[in-house]
Homo-oligomer: A and B are copies of this chain.
Amino acid sequence: MTEYRRVALIGLGLIASSMAHAMRAKGLAGEIVGHARSAETRATAREIGLVDRVCDTAAEAVQGADLVVLAVPVGAMGAIAAEIAPHLAEGATITDVGSVKQAVIEAVAPHLPGHVHFIPGHPLAGTEHSGPRSGFATLFVNRWWLLTPLEATDPAALARLRSFLTGLGANVDEMDVHRHDLVLAVVSHTPHLIAYTMVGVADHLRRVTHEEVIKYSASGFRDFTRIAASDPTMWRDVFLTNREATLDILGRFTEELFMLQRAIRMGDGDMLFDYFTRTREIRRGIIEAGQDTAAPDFGRGAPVPEKKA
């Protein structure tokens, strides 16, 4: 089952390296070619044999590829698209893995020739690690991979990409571009900003030492630090390019926080209790939806069982 003859991975971070491992494990690509802007990353990729061939330029990497994956920070997508555009093979599919979709489409689409299929995408999978050594074959298993196809998308190219992503282990869903950016602002972008902020607060406090914060981080803060350890470049670009939705959700968050803060100040225990009871229900919904496990000593990132065929 070879879905594509040659897959070019542009950018060799967590997502691309996990795709490489998964493609090999599942036999989804005839040849895997890779490129990273940094010479150090290319050297590491060669050293660990991450892909079949590492190219020094993106232009070289995409030549003859029938699938090109743009796996660079959102802010770098436009320049890469301009660079590779003249070298893309006739009929190739171009996708990306950016966490924001409207901004990527605006940056990438104008550069691409009419003879390729551009299908924007976003895998909802990740860890706080980055770089070519951070990938693993099961990262996408049982995780959503959202596609936001443009109006004129070729159904055959879309079906082939969906089949390939399903082969990586992901559950593929299609979504409106604008809706994607709003939903992600709620479930991912704003939570990340809040986690970064809380970790920053802890770091700045002079009365509580750095050592104490680290030592006693169990239960609560530790999960925040995990989220706030995500790749700085990637997240800078997410906030700059999904600005409107993030600021909207942040405004709502602040209103809500002030309401709870007031309840604490006024000693309104009933209000706090009711609020905390409601949020607990949401957690139950997530467990029932299979997006996490309820087992008490079996955590978030534990190996996910293989999906049943």
Contact = CB atoms under 8 A, between A and B. Distances in A.
Interface of A: 75, 124-129, 134, 136, 138-139, 143-144, 146, 182-184, 186-205, 207-208, 210, 212-230, 232-233, 235-237, 239-240, 243, 246-247, 249-250, 252-254, 256-257, 260-261, 264-265, 267, 269, 272-273, 275-280, 282-286, 289, 291-292, 294, 296-304
B204 A272 contact: no
Contacts of A265: 243, 247
B292 A303 contact: no
A253 B197 contact: yes
6 contacts: A183-B212, A187-B221, A196-B275, A214-B282, A232-B280, A233-B273
A292 B269 CA distance: 33
Contacts of A182: 207-208
Contact of A300 (B200, B300, B303): B300
Contacts of A260: 193, 196-197, 200
A52 B203 CA distance: 46
Given A144-B218, A247-B264, A272-B236, A183 B197 contact: no
A296 B127 contact: yes
Nearest to A271: B236
A254 B253 contact: no
A303 B299 CA distance: 9
A123 to B, nearest CB: 9
A125 B218 contact: yes
Q: For the complex formed by this chain, how many copies does it contain in all? A: 2
Contacts of A301: 296-300
A203 B253 CA distance: 11
Q: Which of A184, A196, A279 has the most CB of B within 10 A?
A: A279
Contacts of A218: 124-125, 143-144, 187, 291
A261 B269 contact: no
Given A191-B220, A197-B257, A229 B272 contact: no
A107 to B, nearest CB: 15
B221 A188 contact: yes
7 closest A-B pairs by CB: A299-B299, A229-B283, A299-B301, A232-B276, A191-B220, A299-B300, A187-B221
A283 B228 contact: yes
Contacts of A217: 187, 286, 289, 291-292
Q: Which of A139, A188, A304 has the most C-beta atoms of chain B within 10 angstroms of its own C-beta?
A: A188
A249 B286 CA distance: 29
A198 B190 contact: yes
A228 B299 CA distance: 16
A285 B214 contact: yes
Given A198-B253, A230-B280, 20 more contacts: A124-B219, A126-B219, A129-B294, A183-B212, A186-B221, A188-B221, A193-B261, A194-B257, A197-B257, A199-B279, A200-B256, A210-B282, A210-B285, A214-B285, A217-B291, A220-B227, A228-B279, A237-B269, A240-B264, A297-B304
